[in-house]
A and B are shown apart, each in its own frame.
Chain A
Amino acid sequence: MTEAIIFYLFSTVAVVSALMMISVRNPVRAAFYLVLSFFASAIIWLLLQAEFLAIVLVLVYVGAVMVLFLFVVMMLDLNIVEKESGFTRYFPIGIMLAAITFFSIYYVLGQKESGMDVFQSQPLSTAASHVEGYSNTKELGKLLYSEYVYAFEIAAMLLLVAIVAAISLTYRRRPKTRHQNPDLQVSARHEDRIRIVKIPVEERK
């Protein structure tokens, strides 16, 4: 009962905020709605006992990727009005395609031939079905570092490549700016800066 309430509440939040995301004018607001949608999804993942991934979703997506999006949206001086054009033109076709996709998924899920109607008959146990001391994180870790260790290494390389690519794409040298060189600053000695000149004393006339 409680699970059903949580599911319906947060899936409504996720769907409504996703709808708002694709329909608002301002990209900053769209990003905020997407954050809300991610957050609601994380709670639904918790309901499915994927606690590690739910927290990682919040940590990585909400805490890092969406911050990156917001940064870019806020820093670029976007012209918001230009979004107006074309919105209504493509609106019907977008809705139509989405409806076709959704109803074909819905149809397949209820079909006897696809064998997916069995999902409807058995309830999904959201209660704790695991033995005492079970830890989702530990199970994931065991699998990740044994069977999928090569995939894991490749993912790590991919992230490294992404870091290098993102930096090399956006880095620009500005020849006009003056950089400090702390090494030179620290190693400066007083001989370099001050010259003590001996001036011969002149006799007063």
Chain B
Amino acid sequence: MLDLLYSLTSFLPESLQTIIIILVKIAVLLIPLLLGVAYLTYAERKIIGYMQVRIGPNRVGPRGWLQPIADAVKLMFKEIVIPNFANKFLFLLAPVLSIGTALAAWAVVPFNAELVLADVNAGLLYILAMTSVGVYGVIIAGWASNSKYAMLSALRASAQIVSYEIAMGFALVGVLMASRSLNLGDIVIGQSGGIYHWYLLPLFPLFVVYFISGVAETNRAPFDVAEGESEIVAGFHVEYSGMAFSIFFLAEYANMILISMLASLMFLGGWLSPFEGIEIIQNSSLAFIGTASIGWLLAKAAFLLLLFLWFRATFPRYRYDQIMRLGWKVFIPITIVWIFVIGLMYYWQIGPWFTH
């Protein structure tokens, strides 16, 4: 596949060829991602519909399968209204910033041992940095809209994101202590050897903290006070319409997929199979479920995405001070204690995980 691309572009100068190949790689990564985002919105409506004993969208196409495409077409043809006295440049920059950082973080996400766009050493740090830059999309949107509701929501959302980033960062410190690497590929390889080697078991509290912080980071229910429609209309993007609004929407869902993907890479063994090393399976005709493949990664991420939707259908919205209390007074102490526990586990060389 790559060789074909190289031979096709061989008439170009070398630097141009490299750039074209990188661009093609980015496109190959992003097109399935954006399709995934589109169908995640469909899945959300359908799954929450079933949970509430409704049918969900079923008009467009067979069983409503074309619903996301119809939505996209509708949003594309709507007018983008720019409010009076809004800062036009920043108003249009904000959605670009939020989608840009949401997609840029995908550069270091590995899909199997070889398939990764940029195999950098400090991948985990890079992802943290990208998510922290994502706050600017929210702040700029709120400020540039010249609207009180948008402003209030931007303050709420950015305070929430910054607070939960700390808990998230500490959870990642635990992972990097266990794997002794910042490279996501190495983190997954460090978990090979069957389901007991996954970091889910020794780092279970960190997994819970990471995932709930991820829900709060993406401003999803039950932590969606930033867009609580009963309090502040629709949050920082009240003033946005058409494609500008849908870009915020895309960024939110791309971040959801990213969080689930990272959680499955760091805690659930990534592309490794849970049945690895079980002899009965390996010798039977079902050997393929015992081998590592990208399918496992996608299945794990899909399960975590289901949890996102499930939370939304189940829990009532938290009050703002309760969210802050949970982040600062519960999650951060838990992570700090668990980092200490990991240190002790290294000291006593516990389990299959800490015997380096």
Direct contact of A and B (CB under 8 A): yes
Measured CA separation A131–B90 after assembly (Å): 44
A residues contacting the other copy or chain, number (CB 8 A)? 21
B243 at the interface (CB under 8 A from A): no
In chain B, what residue has the closest Cβ to A66? Answer: B136
Is A10 an interface position by the 8 A CB rule?
no
Specify which chain A residues have a CB less than 8 angstroms from the CB of B132 in the assembled complex. 58-59, 62-64
Bound complex: CA of A70 vs CA of B135, how far in Å? 11
B:87-124 near A, CB below 8 Å: 90, 120-122
Any chain B CB within 8 A of the CB of A67?
yes
- The A-contacting residues of B in range 143-167, CB under 8 angstroms, are 143, 151, 155, 158-159, 162, 165
Q: For residue A55, which residues in chain B have a CB less than 8 angstroms away from its CB?
A: 122, 125-126, 128-129
Contact call B121/A67, Cβ cutoff below 8 A: no
Tell me whether A35 and B136 are in contact (CB under 8 A). Answer: yes
- B125 near A74: Cβ-Cβ < 8 Å: no
Known: A32-B90, A55-B122, A137-B121. A67 touches B133 (CB 8 A): no
Give CA–CA (A202, B171) in the complex, Å.
Answer: 69
**Is there a chain B Cβ closer than 8 Å to A75's Cβ?**
yes
Is B121 in contact with A59, judged by CB distance below 8 angstroms? no
Classify the secondary structure of B's interface with A: helix
Check if B121 sits within 8 Å of A51, measured CB to CB: yes
Q: Is B251 an interface residue, CB under 8 A from the partner?
A: no
**Contact yes or no, B135 A63, CB < 8 A:** yes
Query: Contacts A52-B122, A63-B129 given: A137-B151 contact, CB under 8 Å?
Result: no
Check A75–B155 contact: CB distance below 8 A.
yes
B140 sits at the interface (CB 8 A): yes
Q: Which residues of A contact B162 (CB under 8 A)?
A: 63-64, 67
Collect the chain B residues with CB atoms within 8 Å of residue A32's CB.
90, 140
Roughly how many angstroms separate A64 CA and B140 CA in the complex, as a whole number? 15
**Distance between Cα atoms of A64 and B135 in the complex (Å):** 10
Looking at the assembled complex, report how far the CB atom of A157 sits from the nearest CB atom of chain B, in whole angstroms: 15
Q: A74 and B151 in contact (CB under 8 A), knowing A56-B125, A63-B165, A67-B139?
A: yes
Which residue of A52, A67, A137 contacts B135 across the interface (Cβ within 8 Å)?
Answer: A67
Q: Inside 8 A of A2's CB, which chain B residues have their CB?
A: 15
Cβ of A111 < 8 Å from any Cβ of B? no
Residues of chain A from 142 to 163 with CB closer than 8 A to chain B in the complex: none
Judging by beta carbons under 8 Å apart, are B133 and A63 in contact? Answer: yes
- Which of A55, A75, A137 gathers the greatest number of chain B CB atoms within 10 Å? A55
Within 8 A of A (CB), among B1-50: 15
Say yes or no: is B292 at the interface (Cβ < 8 Å to chain A): no
Which of A35-78 touch B at CB < 8 Å?
A: 35, 51-52, 55-56, 58-59, 62-64, 67, 70-71, 74-75
A186 to B15, CA, bound (A): 67
Contact with A along B280-309 (1 / 0, CB 8 A): 000000000000000000000000000000
**CB atoms of A59 and B139 under 8 A apart:** no
A55–B120 Cα gap in the complex (Å)? Answer: 12
Chain B residues with Cβ below 8 Å from A51 are: 120-122
A26 to B136: give the CA distance in the assembly, Å. 18
B350 to chain A, nearest CB (A): 22
Interface residues of B in 58-97 (CB under 8 A from A): 90
A59-B129 contact given A52-B122, A74-B143, A135-B121, CB 8 Å threshold? yes
Query: B151-187, CB under 8 A of A: which get 1 and which 0?
Result: 1000100110010010000000000000000100000
Q: Please measure, in the bound complex, the distance between the C-alpha atom of A25 and the C-alpha atom of B183, giving whole angstroms.
A: 43
Interface residues of A (CB under 8 A from B): 2, 28, 32, 35, 51-52, 55-56, 58-59, 62-64, 67, 70-71, 74-75, 135-137
